[in-house]
Amino acid sequence: PPVSPFAIAFDAERLTLSPEGPTLTRRMSDLEGLFLDQSAWAESAAGDNPVVYTVTSSPVPEINRELPQSITTIFPGATAGELWMTKGHQHPDHQGEIYLALKGRGGLLMFDGERVEWLDMTPGTIGYIPPGWAHRSVNTGDEPYAFLAVYPGGAGHDYGWVLTHGMGSRAYLDASGSVDLRPYAG
Ligand code: 6PG
Ligand code: NI
């Protein structure tokens, strides 16, 4: 049965949604094959295995015609210079999505298999992910970067696409602290 209308309390300080649906925590060990420097990744994953990001959602089901939301919080850090990021994924049926930056400083990296786009994300920025663009978020600052995502319930997550095609670019910081996008390689 469809979900009945309901209100969700958003706590802008704690970055929580209430009522709360499924949540997940991604540690370094969950990001296998994604950082360019595989040995730096392996050392970190086998060592203190830090939490790289968390995702908390409202209880709207991930099924067609529903419109779920979630908040992702990426902690600040870098692995061999490559900024901490989400795994990144493609939506299997190429559905679009929007992100609203809430806190901290980040970037929204998008790749359609040929073209790469980068959007700077600061609180108040709405990033639009068009159909068919794989998307990854990156923390470019020195505090947690958090954003709200709103997506079609049937969108799904194809993580294999990124392992096969990459994301077009990788994000680093240059000596002055500006984002330095490098060709994907590896
Ligand atoms: C989605 C959103 C978003 C995303 C998280 C974690 O489609 O659900 O894009 O909620 O899943 O930011 O990123 P990864 O799914 O790439 O780990
Ligand atoms: Ni998505």
Span 89-101, average pLDDT? 98
Domain extent for 172? 9-176
The per-residue pLDDT for 185 is: 86
The verdict on residue 184 lying in a domain is no
| Least distant ligand from the CA of 154 | 1
User: Which tens digit of pLDDT belongs to each residue from 7-46?
Assistant: 999 999 999 999 999 999 999 999 999 999 999 999 999 9
Confidence of residue 71 (pLDDT cuts 50, 70, 90): very high
Q: Is the CB of 138 under 6 A from ligand 1?
A: no
The per-residue pLDDT for 1 is: 62
Span 166-178, average pLDDT? 97
User: Which tens digit of pLDDT belongs to each residue from 82-94?
Assistant: 999 999 999 999 9
Q: Mean pLDDT over all residues of the chain?
A: 97
Q: Is the pLDDT of residue 156 over 80?
A: yes
Question: Cα(90) to centroid of ligand 2, in Å?
Answer: 7
Q: Which atom of ligand 1 is nearest to the CA of 136?
A: 16
The verdict on residue 182 lying in a domain is no
Q: How far apart are CA 39 and CA 28, in angstroms?
A: 12
The verdict on residue 125 lying in a domain is yes
36 Cβ contact partners less than 8 Å away, ≥ 6 residues apart: 80, 82, 170, 185, 186
Q: Are 37 and 28 in contact (CB under 8 A)?
A: no
The verdict on residue 47 lying in a domain is yes
Angle, CA of 173, 174 and 179, to the nearest 5°: 45
**For 44, how many CA atoms within 13 A lie in the half-sphere containing its CB?**
21
The verdict on residue 139 lying in a domain is yes
Q: Is the CB of 104 under 6 A from ligand 1?
A: no
Nearest residue (by CA) to ligand 1, atom 11, is 157
* Ligand 1, pocket-test mutation among 57, 70, 98, 145, most atoms within 8 A of CB: 70
Tokens representing residue 14 in the block: 């704690």
User: Which tens digit of pLDDT belongs to each residue from 104-143?
Assistant: 999 999 999 999 999 999 999 999 999 999 999 999 999 9
Give the total number of structural domains in the chain: 1
The per-residue pLDDT for 2 is: 67
The verdict on residue 186 lying in a domain is no
Of 167 and 3, which is predicted with more confidence? 167
The verdict on residue 81 lying in a domain is yes
Q: What CATH number does residue 147 fall under? A: 2.60.120.10
